[in-house]
Amino acid sequence: MKRIITILLVSMSLCIQAQTITNPDTVCVNATAEQYFVTNTVGSTYTWNVVGGGGILTGGQGTNAITIDWGGIPGLYPNAVSVTESSSSNCLGNPVNLDVYVLQLTLPTLGPFCVGDPSTTLGGSPLSGTYSGTGIVGNDFDPATAGVGIHAITYSLGGCSITTNITVNNAPVTGPIQHY
Domain-located, residue 37: yes
The rounded distance, in Å, linking the Cα atoms of 25 and 78 is 10
Residue that is last in its domain, among 103, 127, 150: 103
Domain-located, residue 180: no
More confident residue, 120 or 17: 120
48 and 80: one domain?
yes
Task: Tell me the pTM.
Answer: 0.76
Please give the residue range of the domain that contains residue 62. Answer: 25-103
Domain-located, residue 75: yes
Residue 145 DSSP SS3? helix
Alpha-helical regions (H) of 99-155: 143-146
For the chain, give the longest Cα–Cα distance. 138
32 and 97: one domain?
yes
95 and 138: one domain?
no
Mean pLDDT of 10-21: 39
Query: What local confidence, expressed as pLDDT, does residue 21 receive?
Result: 62
* Residues 124-155 pLDDT 10s: 999 999 999 999 999 999 999 999 999 999 99
